[in-house]
A and B are shown apart, each in its own frame.
Chain A
Amino acid sequence: MSEPADLRMRELADYPLRNAGSEQGFLRGTVASLSDIAAHRELLGQLVRRELKARYKDSALGFVWSLIRPLTMLLVYYVALGQFLGAARNTPSFAIFVYCGLAAWTLFNESVTSGTMSIVQNAGLVKKVYLPREVFPLAAVGSAAFNFGMQVVILLSATALARQFPVGTRWGYFPLALAVTLVYSTLLALVLSALNVYLRDVQYIVEVGLQLLFWASPIVYPWHLVVQHIGGTWLEQLYLANPMTLVTLGFQRTFWVAGVAEPFPADLSARLGIVLAIGLVLLWLGQRLFANLQSNFAQEL
Chain B
Amino acid sequence: MTTPVVVQINDLSKRFVIRKEKSLKERIVNWRRSNIHKEDFWALTDVNLEIRAGSTVGLIGANGSGKSTLLKLISGILQPTTGTAKVRGRLAALLELGAGFHPDLTGRENVYINASILGLSRQEIDRYFDAIVDFSGIEPFIDTQVKFYSSGMYVRLAFAVAVHVDPDILLVDEVLAVGDEPFQRKCLERIRTFQTEGRTIVLVTHGLDQVAEFCDRAVVLEQGRVAADGSARDGLRTLRADFEQSRQDELARLLDGDELAGHTRFSGVALRSSEGDDSHPQLRVGDPLVVAMETQTDGAVRDATVGMAITTPLGLTLYSTTTRLLDAGALELTGTQQFQFELASLPLAPGDYAVRTTLTTAGGVELQTVPVAAEFSVEGVERSLGPVAVDAKFRRF
Contacts and interface: CB of A to CB of B under 8 A. Distances in A.
Partners in one complex: yes
Contacts of A201: 23-25
A9 B109 contact: no
B159 to A, nearest CB: 14
Contacts of A298: 72, 77-78
B192 to A, nearest CB: 12
A21 B77 contact: yes
A6 B122 CA distance: 27
A200 interface: yes
A8 B96 contact: no
Contacts of B89: 11-12, 15
A58 interface: yes
A72 interface: no
Nearest to B173: A128
A46 B53 contact: no
B53 A54 contact: no
A19 B86 contact: yes
B105 A6 contact: no
Contact of B99 (A1, A6, A8, A128): A128
| Most B Cβ at <10 Å: residue of A4, A6, A13 | A13
A15 B88 contact: yes
B221 interface: no
B24 A20 contact: no
Interface in A12-66: 12-13, 15-22, 42-43, 46-47, 50, 53-54, 57-58
A9 B77 contact: no
A124 interface: yes
Contacts of A54: 102, 104-105
Interface string B21-35: 011110100000000
B365 interface: no
Contacts of B121: 42
Contacts of A22: 76, 79
A245 to B, nearest CB: 29
B335 interface: no
Given A50-B109, A125-B99, A17 B5 contact: yes
A129 B99 contact: yes
B87 interface: yes
Interface in B47-61: 53-54
Contacts of B3: 9, 12
Contact of B85 (A11, A13, A20, A127): A20
Interface string A53-84: 11001100000000000000000000000000
B93 A8 contact: no
Contact of B102 (A11, A50, A130): A50
A46 B100 CA distance: 12
A299 interface: yes
B4 A19 contact: no
A130 B23 contact: no
Interface string A127-165: 111110000000000000000000000000000000000
Contacts of B96: 124, 128
| Most B Cβ at <10 Å: residue of A9, A22, A126 | A9
A117 B129 CA distance: 32
A222 to B, nearest CB: 38
A242 interface: no
B328 interface: no
A296 B79 contact: yes
Contacts of A124: 96, 99-100
A16 B118 CA distance: 21
Contacts of B74: 20
B276 to A, nearest CB: 46
B196 A200 contact: no
Contact of B86 (A6, A18, A125, A296): A18
Given A6-B198, A8-B168, A125-B99, A295 B79 contact: yes
B197 interface: yes
Contacts of B93: 128-130
B346 interface: no
Contacts of B4: 9, 12-13
B199 interface: yes
B116 to A, nearest CB: 4
B238 interface: no
B286 to A, nearest CB: 39
Given A42-B116, A47-B113, A130 B76 contact: yes
B354 to A, nearest CB: 32
A53 B91 CA distance: 29
A57 B104 contact: yes
B77 A12 contact: no
Given A46-B113, A50-B102, 9 more contacts: A2-B198, A5-B197, A6-B198, A22-B76, A47-B113, A50-B113, A128-B99, A129-B93, A295-B79
21 contacts: A1-B198, A4-B197, A11-B89, A12-B89, A15-B89, A17-B8, A20-B74, A21-B79, A46-B116, A50-B102, A57-B105, A58-B104, A124-B96, A126-B77, A127-B77, A128-B100, A199-B23, A199-B27, A200-B23, A201-B24, A298-B72
**Which 4 pairs between the two chains have the least Cβ-Cβ distance?**
A5-B198, A21-B76, A295-B79, A128-B99
Interface of A: 1-2, 4-6, 8-9, 11-13, 15-22, 42-43, 46-47, 50, 53-54, 57-58, 124-131, 199-201, 295-296, 298-299
Interface of B: 1, 3-6, 8, 16, 22-25, 27, 53-54, 72-79, 84-89, 91, 93, 95-96, 99-100, 102, 104-105, 109, 112-113, 116-118, 121-122, 145, 168, 196-199
